[in-house]
Chain A
Amino acid sequence: MMVGIVKLILIYLPFLMSSILFNKSLVNMKSMKINSFMFLMFSLLLFLNSNNGVSMIGMGWMNMKFVLSWDFYSIVFIFIGMSVTWSILNFAQWYMGAEVKNGTFNSFLFLFLMFMFILTSSVNLVFLLIGWEGVGIMSFLLINWWFGRGEAGLSGIQAMVYNRIGDFFIYIGIFFFLSSLSEVVMLSFFFNMEYMVNNLILIFLLIGMMAKSSLFFFQPWLPNAMEGPTPVSALLHSSTMVVAGVYLMCRLVGMFNLTVLGVVGLIGALTMLYGSVCALMQPDMKKIIAHSTTSQLGLMVVTLGFGYPFISFLHMGMHAYIKSLIFISSGVFIHGTMNLQDFRKMKMGSISSKFSMYCMFFCSLSLGGFPFLAGFYSKDSILENMYGSFLNSFLSLVVILGSVMTVVYSFKLMYLVLFFNNNDGSFSVKLEGQESFNSTFFFMSRLFLGGISGGFFFMWSIFLVMGEEYISWYLKVIPLMILFFGLLVGLILVPSKMLVAPVFNLLYYNPVVHRITLFMFYRSIKIMKYIEFFGMEILWVSHLKKIPLLSSLFNGFVTYKNYFFFCIVGLLLLMFLF
């Protein structure tokens, strides 16, 4: 057991060390990069050395195995997460350079990364909860980074509350697993096929994943989380943290039966439609990207509902590269226009950082599924595999509709960046083009390579296990038709400013859904509040005060101390009586 503990500590030592060192010195980026590279190499060597697909390291304690697993999912996710984080940390250093607590910010990011790798590399559901809760709390802290602003505080608490609701259901699901199967290691679920799980447990787990991944009914926290700094949005709320729910679902989807898979697909379809519609009419640049993230998460979940975890996982990886680069480009624009992110104001000035513009242009095309860019490979696989005699035809239609809308809002983003470039605008603050290019090129170009050509390499190196299909030519051209139809719709809608019309404005349902969710949540806990408030103040303590012996104990206010004291005494009395 001691050996196991030492091994576990040694693995996360680089992260811990770098996060501690950061508080001491402002810039220690180099050591952090080296540490993370070593971690990556170490895990890759472990993976290559083992002849099996899965290699584990860990310890057992009280019949619980706290195990780190290097399997297909965790290795690929660690590679993608590392390469995205490498660029985003450089971006954070550039974007948050003027912050007072720059080091604390970076150490928060690295702590988040550590929790994320606990989450991805654990096959034990209880051990996974450490990472699950850890990324939640780091998300809260990072959204709250500028906590002096009311909106930031509100968004942080909102994200926290939504994640809490989901965690509650996850806990219940895990307790059910423990009570019925006496097992929480995910791999053993699949090794023993006689384990039949009730649908209710799977639905509980699904609700937890919905809250974490901001799927439908839990989606309002994600656009509000854009109150945080842009590096946080790029790292947490597009590529790594919000896909945690989908990642867990990828791992557990082998256990889901067809009924639950249908529900999964329906939720994904609703999320995709809703996110696309919201992204179409948003004026705020970062919120467009946030809603587009929501819709892409919906697409991943629909794919899981069809029963293709590998394709969903491929889309997750490609989306990580594309979306983080889009966020970084938007951060460059926000920096260049003196912290403006509303297009209605931004279009008054001009943007002189051409490279960010091209990054956003090509990555939006890639997200829309332009042939042989990264997003094409995953989206094409999804669109080719969703026809068949055993798949829901409504979900296939929704995926096509949602893909068209994806192209439309991507076109909106491209259009607003490229063509609203008014040099005679009243807004005179410009970013020095060459200067920003010099500092941003190196970390953006890496992601640019991933977002453009990553699909080719990932498809032909790692995801070859996906089978090849024969389909008809008219099904084969559907992705291309989607792209051209979407561009056509965008060309009609966006320049004519139809998307800012009040009819489209009516489609913004986030406050409505948020109020419904909060209403349900707070009504359910209201009785607790009554018991606490009135139970403490009057109900029985006031009766007790009439007894002269006890009245000397407390005068006036009933403090928590009195309350606690009487509770303990009452419990002891009850124990003696029964």
Chain B
Amino acid sequence: MSLLRASSSILRKVVGISKVQSCAPTLNVLSKRFYDPDPTPPVYDQSLIEGEDLICLLDSSEILSPEKKARLALKYGLIPEDYHPMNDHDFNLGDYPHLPAESVLERDPHYDWDDPFYRRNYGEPISVDVDLYSPLILDTRPLPHDPQQQYRVLFGALFSCFFLWWLGGKYRTNLPRGPKQYPEHYPSDEILHSWEWDSFEKRGLEPKLKERTPVTNYTLEKYKWNPAAH
């Protein structure tokens, strides 16, 4: 094979045909293109956010004064009316703003966004659930019909189905039906053992037959009964 390959490459060099790419780029090319051991851009190395510029803990018992609220809103690039911290009595989440739960698809598609795919401008505070409300995951656009009405109809239909199912289990149709009978076949045995797994290893593809013992309630003096003959 290697000889063939070498000869073909030599032939190609002699004739002057370059190798035609007949398929998609293989993993080698992809890995060279996409694998970057240090993906951090150089500018980001020098930029430091320290101290008060980071998310800080808030005292849960303290009520925010207008001045402090304005200061914190300015920290996150919001107006004070829009700023509501995510701080909680039970679970101290700091002063990060609580943003509305709207998906990216709900925003204006015709506005000149800095990032048109995620429809956001640079410097905006990002929702905690940014991955949840990305265009590929969750869509919170209003539905074409009233969702409350749809929930009502859906759950109404579901629970009526549950009720009818329960009713159908209680009152069965006793319609006439039975398996076809053969001389050596006893349907009552099938019904009794119908839930049993009878493996193919045991019985191949043959129908299940019952072994019968000969029952003789008579004897003939002239012709004696010989069980071995049957």
Q: Which residues of A contact B (CB under 8 A)?
A: 23-26, 51-54, 71-72, 100-101, 103-104, 150, 153-154, 157, 187, 190-191, 193, 254, 262, 266, 269-270, 273, 307, 384, 387-397, 464-465, 467-472, 475, 506, 509, 511-513, 515, 518, 522, 526, 529-530, 533-534, 537-539, 542, 555-557
Contact = CB atoms under 8 A, between A and B. Distances in A.
Contacts of A273: 161
B57 A538 contact: yes
A66 B91 CA distance: 48
A394 B168 contact: yes
Contact of B177 (A51, A464, A471): A471
8 contacts: A24-B23, A52-B200, A52-B204, A104-B24, A191-B197, A391-B173, A530-B93, A530-B128
Given A262-B169, A394-B164, A387 B175 contact: yes
Nearest to A534: B93
Contacts of A103: 23-24
Give the 8 A-B residue pairs with the shortest CB-CB distance, closest first: A53-B200, A394-B168, A190-B197, A468-B180, A556-B48, A387-B175, A393-B173, A101-B24
A512 B49 contact: no
Given A392-B172, A393-B171, A25 B177 contact: no
Interface in B140-169: 143, 145, 147, 150-151, 153-154, 158, 161-162, 164-165, 167-169
B135 interface: yes
Interface of B: 22-24, 26, 47-50, 54-57, 91-94, 128-129, 132, 135-139, 143, 145, 147, 150-151, 153-154, 158, 161-162, 164-165, 167-169, 171-180, 190, 194-197, 199-201, 204-205, 207
Contacts of A254: 195, 197
Contacts of B145: 506
B179 to A, nearest CB: 5
B26 A23 contact: yes
- Give the interface SS of chain B, mostly helix, strand, loop or mixed: loop
A391 B169 CA distance: 7
A511 B195 CA distance: 40
Nearest to A506: B145
A101 B21 CA distance: 12
A542 B58 CA distance: 13
A26 B207 contact: no
Contact of B128 (A150, A191, A518, A533): A533
Given A53-B201, A193-B196, A538-B56, A389 B24 contact: no
A534 B94 contact: yes
Contact of A270 (B158, B172, B195): B158
Contact of B138 (A24, A388, A391, A518): A518
Contacts of B162: 266
A555 B175 contact: no
B189 to A, nearest CB: 13
A307 B196 CA distance: 12
B204 A53 contact: yes
A72 B93 CA distance: 59
Contacts of A509: 150, 154
A506 B145 CA distance: 7
A401 to B, nearest CB: 12
Given A101-B23, A394-B168, A530-B128, A469 B180 contact: yes
B149 to A, nearest CB: 9
A154 B136 contact: yes
A482 B90 CA distance: 61
Contacts of B129: 522, 526, 529
Contacts of B48: 555-556
Nearest to B150: A512
A556 B24 contact: no
A196 to B, nearest CB: 13
B154 A26 contact: no
A392 B166 CA distance: 9
Contact of B201 (A54, A393, A397, A539): A54
A26 to B, nearest CB: 6
A26 B22 contact: yes
Contacts of A191: 197, 199
Nearest to B146: A506
Contact of A387 (B128, B161, B177, B201): B177
